[in-house]
Amino acid sequence: MKTLEWNVDNHVDNLKNNPQIVEAANLLKQNEIIAFPTETVYGLGANATSDEAIAKVYEAKGRPSDNPLIVHIANFSQLHALVLEIPEKAEKLMKEFWPGPLTIIFKVRPGFLSKKVTAGLDTVGIRMPDHPLALSLIKAANLPVAAPSANSSGKPSPTTAKHVHEDLFGQIAGILDGGETGIGVESTVVDCTVEVPIILRPGGVTKEAMESVIGKVEIDPALNENLKSKPKAPGMKYTHYAPNAPVYLVNGTPEFIQVLVKKSREEGLVVGVIATDETADLYDADYVRACGSRQDLSTVANRLYDTLRSFNSKNVDIIYSEVFSTEGVGLAVMNRLEKAAGHKWIYENDLTK
């Protein structure tokens, strides 16, 4: 398949009528799929009302078809056409955080969206992205746009058009290049169909921020269980956001991580380390990448996926990663690192008792 690539300046006036955006929007109307930037990661957009278009998304990504997709909208009139009701707490969250990195789960209005979007569920996740190109594309297409991350399933999500090119060139109709994304991890997903909203996926909008608007918000128990306890057996969870080499999360000091690095190198392995600005110089490994500062975990979120992808070009055999607090956006960072590692942990205390 021929993949068109357009480079559009985010700051140009009247983006909706930009000829490149109009061309991309016309392809969406023809049920082709287009990668485009949002404030979180690049999305792989498709006409959310078309079974044909949604099937192309699953095929291009290699994504299981029982995994529902998030629908992106550009205005509130689109929302009313897609959902049965808007709970009061959802309304407050939208007023505070839309446009922005927050996906809200609603009861879906039957008969409009492709059932492939919802994977047969009676709910749908919807968000309004905070990116001028994304909003302009959706407005120009005049369609609700289903858009998972624009990467091969299981690989790190794309934060640049280059990442999309690496994974999907020749498999999709076009890539709309709007530069590097801002937040770097996907949107928070919160279920507002229940009395106390539940975070199903942590992301750019934190639990603390939502609670300041609507009061108590729960976290899906599965998230807490995965982040605070050891899996019962290795490999019991599948990996996602993963580079080619296996990732191990190390709960320990930099000195302990360096011991692991030294042992692996003595075994003939090429070793990588995911570090921070504060600790990168402490490691002697084949490739050390600082993914941000511990003093500001939003910098880690912003650079996490690019960091994970960078190890592929270095041909490393094993990657050891530092771990982070789960406060604020740190919950989203650790959620993604856990999935990238397939929940493989090494605990310094276990090995030094």
For residues 276 and 300, the answer to whether their CB atoms sit within 8 Å is yes
Tell whether 63 is in a known binding site. Answer: yes
Tell whether 309 is in a known binding site. Answer: no
**Can you tell me the distance from the alpha carbon of 37 to that of 86, in angstroms, rounded to the nearest whole number?**
27
Tell whether 159 is in a known binding site. Answer: no
Tell whether 321 is in a known binding site. Answer: no
Tell whether 127 is in a known binding site. Answer: yes
Name residue 274's amino acid.
Answer: I
- Is residue 348 classed as helix, strand or coil in its secondary structure? helix
Tell whether 60 is in a known binding site. Answer: no
**Can you tell me the distance from the alpha carbon of 290 to that of 349, in angstroms, rounded to the nearest whole number?**
24
Tell whether 157 is in a known binding site. Answer: yes
Reading the block at residue 52, the tokens are: 């044909």
Give φ, ψ of 267 to 5 degrees.
-85, 5
Tell whether 212 is in a known binding site. Answer: no
Q: What is the DSSP string of 9-24?
A: -TT-S-GGG-HHHHHH
Tell whether 47 is in a known binding site. Answer: no
Tell whether 294 is in a known binding site. Answer: no
Note the helical H segments in the chain: 19-29, 51-61, 76-82, 88-97, 115-118, 132-141, 161-168, 207-214, 221-228, 254-266, 297-310, 330-340, 348-352
- Is residue 293 classed as helix, strand or coil in its secondary structure? strand
Tell whether 131 is in a known binding site. Answer: no
- Is residue 36 classed as helix, strand or coil in its secondary structure? strand
Cis peptide before 99 (omega within 30 of 0): yes
Question: Please, which residues have CB within 8 angstroms of residue 73's CB and are 6 or more apart in sequence?
Answer: 79, 82, 126, 127, 128, 138, 144, 145
Give φ, ψ of 351 to 5 degrees.
-95, -5
State the binding site for ATP.
63, 67, 123, 149, 157, 201, 241
State the binding site.
40, 63, 67, 72, 123, 127, 147, 149, 157, 187, 201, 241
State the binding site for L-threonine.
40, 72, 127, 147, 187
